[in-house]
Amino acid sequence: MHSMREIPTMPPTRNYELDLAHIRTQFPILCREVYGNSLVYLDNAASMQKPLKVIKAISDCYSNYYSNIHRGVHLLSTLSTAAYERARKIVQLFINASSMQEIIFTSGTTESINLVASSLGGSTVKAGDEVVITGMEHHSNIVPWQVLCERTGAVLRVVPFNYRGELIIHEYERLLESGRVKLVAFVHTSNALGTINPVKILVEIAHARDIPVLVDGAQAIAHSAVDVRELDCDFYAFSGHKIYGPSGVGVLYGKRALLEAMPPYQVGGDMIKIVTFEKTQYAELPNKFEAGTPNIAGVIGLGVALEWLQNIGIEIIKAHEQTLLEYTTDQLSRVPGLNILGTACEKAPLVAFTMKGIHPHDIGTILDREGIAIRAGHQCAQPTMERYGVPAMARVSFAIYNRHEEIDALVKTLFKIKELFK
């Protein structure tokens, strides 16, 4: 247990070859069987599995020191508060934010985006204004802006992307020239295509016109280093469950000046300084945006997940995942009638595909009977499906614990599926 006086630091990155066998032993779920087959988990873009350290940290919280935070003087509350705020410091260091006050804990990326849409958007966007997003967004970075525009009379503008899955930058610049754009929001990495967008360039283009930028980092955060000060984005959102942490917890990073100027997204307990029937004074950052009792154990688990990942080394993870991406792309290209969707030069470890004459749901169902878990459907990105003229896609996505042998099992079964649907 850490005392309140301890200053958390990120463990140093170790320089060693990846011990994949050892890493896999840290994930209990990978030992299970599915329909009599060893589990091959290739649905990591939806949710990653949890290492034992994270599972134990959550259990330890509930078993040994759980209590509500910030509100009690007794020992359990003091210990819970210290662990919770230690996790905030870990997040700050992990993404290189300027201060802990810029780290807001939410329930996930979706709430983080809704917070900005409701708070900043609701207080600055007026009728006739414009909000710019891209054509490759997850629904969670489309619908909140649609609701904002419907409520205010603003207009939603969409940046198109080409068939490779890359944004058309000159169209992005053209949309920002109207002088009416109040906010830009785009995905760091596409959950459907794997495209890694040129965030720094996109932010520079928007900032040259004094337009604030929100980046949806849900799919990027686990696969490459994220430095919010280097990117210079105004907001960055991500979820714990997509970076080896628990579900039900996420992060909104925001530049301090913007967060201080924004009204609260929700109101209630722990986000107030003084309450009378005549007037309420809100608490300072970050409490101002954390109304109610939070997911205390989840936040603590997220901090442990980030430490666990940092201890392995993000560059080591990225290198391993890129070999998986390259190998998968090559092997899938050998399957007759299989079409890979999204071939951007910069890609995350994710491959989406269709097979001629075979619905993705059939692909996913048959693979499941072989113990292979993938995603099949519209990927919560229906406009992206429309861009390619398909109702759905099959998607395989990787994490640190995946092996080349699992890709072989995938491809072998895809050949069987091809024969089955002849």
Ordered strands of the 350-355 beta sheet: 338-341, 350-355, 393-397, 375-377
CB 108 within 8 A of CB 159: no
Residue 181: phi and psi, rounded to 5, are -75, 125
* DSSP string across 125-194: --TT-EEEEETT--GGGTHHHHHHHHHHT-EEEEE-B-TTS-B-HHHHHHHHTTS-EEEEEEESB-TTT-
In the set 61, 149, 345, 380, the catalytic residue is 380
- CA distances to 96, 119, 218, 377 from 193, in Å: 27, 30, 14, 13
Of 231, 151, 152, residue with least CA distance to 189:
231
CB 338 within 8 A of CB 355: yes
Task: State the CB neighbour count (10 A cutoff) for residue 61.
Answer: 22
Q: Is 149 a residue of the active site?
A: no
* DSSP string across 175-192: HHTTS-EEEEEEESB-TT
Instruction: Work out whether the CA dihedral 161, 165, 170, 174 comes out positive or negative.
Output: positive
Q: Are strands 372-373 and 213-216 parallel, antiparallel or unpaired?
A: unpaired
Of 328, 396, 407, 392, residue with least CA distance to 360:
392
Say how many CA atoms lie within 13 Å of 293 toward its Cβ.
10
Instruction: Work out whether the CA dihedral 264, 265, 268, 271 comes out positive or negative.
Output: negative
Burial 13-41 (b: 16+ CB within 10 A, else e): eeeeeeeeeebeebbeebeeeeeeeebbb
* DSSP string across 94-121: HHT-S-GGGEEEESSHHHHHHHHIIIII
Q: Which two tokens stand for residue 80?
A: 């819970």
Beta-bridged to residue 238, according to DSSP, are 251
DSSP state, residue 358: B
What positions carry a catalytic annotation? 380
